[in-house]
Structure 1
Amino acid sequence: MYRLVFWLTYPLLWFISILPFRLFYLVSDMVFVLVYYIIGYRRKTVKENLDLVFPEKSGEEKNKITRKFYRHMCDMFLEMIKSISISNEELKKRFVFTNPEEFERIKKLDKSIVAMCGHYASYEWLIALQLHGIDYKAFGIYKKVKNPYFDKMARDIRGKFNGVLIPTVQATSQITALEKAGERGIYAMIADQSPKRFKKTHWIDFMGIKAPVFIGSEILARKLDMVVVYLNVEKVKRGHYAATLINISDNPRQEPEFAITKKYIKLLERQINNDPQYYLWTHKRWKHRNRPISEDSIVID
């Protein structure tokens, strides 16, 4: 069944991917109408999230954010498909790395990099970083796709740009092995997912709402003494993005406990407050907010 679904779907995806950008974004406009007006994909979740985070905004303001968000979300989904056939030259032009000198500074420290990012702007085209002179191998930590054929397609796309995907369950062991072998890398980690409520959970104020948070990036950086940066991706205009490395810590072992996680959250909050339409509001980030915090949970102040 997985194979059948893949081979029935892939020809359409490939056809969309080779369209000229003018027609490509016309398809995205049509998908927007379908997703926003007809299907209403997760409209209730988006409304709940915006009401929680921006109680001070008027209904009309939140409606404008919602429409802009859905347009961006459809663009980003289509841009993921565009990765099937996009050339190195085109991707490099559309996803710009603004401060390569920061990478050169870090490189002199002879340390690997944990690049913390959020579900903001374009996390699909992060594969372009190596096209801008970053000669560390790029790794993306991801959750495996259930359909093994689509999972392989995702890994093949990253491989085309010299990137490697590491499943979340294997991340610690694989990264530790690479570090022991002396291989330096840049590890992109989307760190704003909503964790499952295990017995012991870390909670933090995110956009003014107490919510559980992953601290795995901080733990890994401390364990392996890796430089931590925030990968600040901005949408410049339709189909064009700019990424900037913002330093969080060169020496994570010397940071107070949870300081790295708090700095990351503050940087992500700043982006969301500046341009909220580019955050993934369909993501149920605050779904545990009304549940009691267990006695052995840790609240990050």
Structure 2
Amino acid sequence: MQFLVYILIYPFLWFVSILPFRLLYVFSDGLYFILYYIVGYRKKVVKENLNLVFPEKSEKEIKTITKKFFHHLCDMVVESIKSISISEEEMKKRFVFTNIEEVHKIEDANKSMVMMCAHYGSWEWIFVLQTYVKSMGYGIYKRIANKHFDKLVKSIRAKYNSYLITTKEAIPRLIEAKNNGERTINGFISDQSPKLHKAFHWNEFMNIKVPIHTGAEMLAKKLDMAVIFFSVKKIKRGYYETTFKTITMEPNEYKDYEITDIFLKLVEKQIYEAPEYYLWTHKRWKHRNDVPPEFQ
């Protein structure tokens, strides 16, 4: 059944991926109309989240941000499909690194690194970073249920010497790499909400106390990796600038969760500057009423 779904859908995805960008965004506009006006995909969740974190904004302002967000979301969908066929040259033109030397400094220090980011801007084309560096690249991800689509996504990343591994695979694989003297760059999207039974740290995110993912920090400390943050700025449709900020070269000099809290403040700064580029469809604040007494 999974293979049948794959062979039915993949030709359509491939066709979309070979469209020139001008037509690709016409497709995105059509997708926006369907999702926003007809299906209403998670529109209620988006507005609830925006009202929650921006109580000072008017209904008109919330509606404007919501529409801009859905436009951006649809652009991201078609851009991720474009990854199937986009050339390296085209991707480098559209996803620019403003200070790649920050990554090179860490490599020159012969250290592996944990690269933290949020569901902000665009993260789909970050794997082109591997064409600028010498370290092996790994992205920590959740496996796709359909094994054929999972294989497709992995193959796209592998074109640029970047590989996807699950959370369970990460520690043994990266310990092995360290023991073999390999340098690695390990990407984490670290702003999602953890399961309550795995929540070891709570803090305010956008002025609301929530459980925080700490896996990236814990891995950095366990394997003595530098920690670097990357932010993505949307310049215009299909064009992004990525900027790196080294949080620390010595993670074990920080108290537990301090690095994670620094990361969250950097994420907040992005959101306040341009909220329409954050992924508001996720129920990031769903556990705000479940704060344990020791964290209140």
For the aligned pair, the TM-score class normalised by the smaller chain equals over 0.9
Structure 1 position 292, deviation (Å):
4.1
Structure 1 position 201, deviation (Å):
3.0
Q: 2:273 maps to what in 1?
A: 274
Secondary structure of residue in 2 paired with 1:282:
coil
Structure 1 position 202, deviation (Å):
1.4
Q: What TM-score, normalized by structure 2, do the two folds share?
A: 0.97
What CA RMSD, in Å, does the superposition of the two structures yield over aligned residues?
1.2
Structure 1 position 294, deviation (Å):
5.6
Q: 1:111 maps to what in 2?
A: 111
Q: 2:63 maps to what in 1?
A: 63
Secondary structure of residue in 2 paired with 1:272:
helix
CA contact (8 A) 2:116 2:189 kept: yes
Structure 1 position 106, deviation (Å):
1.1
For structure 2, the 5+ residue unaligned runs are: none
Structure 1 position 172, deviation (Å):
1.6
After superposition, where does 1:255-266 map in structure 2 within 5 Å? Answer: 255-266=254-265
CA contact (8 A) 1:114 1:226 kept: yes
> Which amino acid in 2 is paired with 1:106?
I
Q: How far apart are the structure 2 equivalents of 1:162 and 1:294?
A: 46
For structure 1, the 5+ residue unaligned runs are: none
Q: 2:153 maps to what in 1?
A: 154
Check 1:228–1:200 CA distance in 2 against 1; reply closer, same or farther (3 A cut). closer
Q: How far apart are the structure 2 equivalents of 1:68 and 1:292?
A: 32
Q: How far apart are the structure 2 equivalents of 1:8 and 1:283?
A: 28
Query: Which 4+ residue blocks in structure 1 deviate beyond 2 angstroms?
Result: none
2:178 paired with 1:217:
no
Q: How far apart are the structure 2 equivalents of 1:228 and 1:269?
A: 18
Structure 1 position 257, deviation (Å):
2.2
Secondary structure of residue in 1 paired with 2:196:
coil
Q: How far apart are the structure 2 equivalents of 1:278 and 1:135?
A: 30
Q: What TM-score, normalized by structure 1, do the two folds share?
A: 0.96
After superposition, where does 1:125-144 map in structure 2 within 5 Å? Answer: 125-131=125-131, 133-144=132-143
Q: 2:246 maps to what in 1?
A: 247
Identity %: 52
Q: 2:122 maps to what in 1?
A: 122
> Which amino acid in 2 is paired with 1:189?
F
CA contact (8 A) 1:199 1:294 kept: no
Structure 1 position 199, deviation (Å):
6.4
Secondary structure of residue in 1 paired with 2:197:
coil
Q: How far apart are the structure 2 equivalents of 1:71 and 1:225?
A: 40
CA contact (8 A) 1:116 1:229 kept: yes
Write the deviation string for residues 255-281 of structure 1: whole angstroms up to 9, x where unpaired.
122210111000000000000000000
Structure 1 position 142, deviation (Å):
0.4
> Which amino acid in 1 is paired with 2:265?
K
Write the deviation string for residues 154-189 of structure 1: whole angstroms up to 9, x where unpaired.
000001122100112211221121112111011110
Number of aligned residues: 296
CA contact (8 A) 1:234 1:242 kept: yes
Check 1:130–1:56 CA distance in 2 against 1; reply closer, same or farther (3 A cut). same
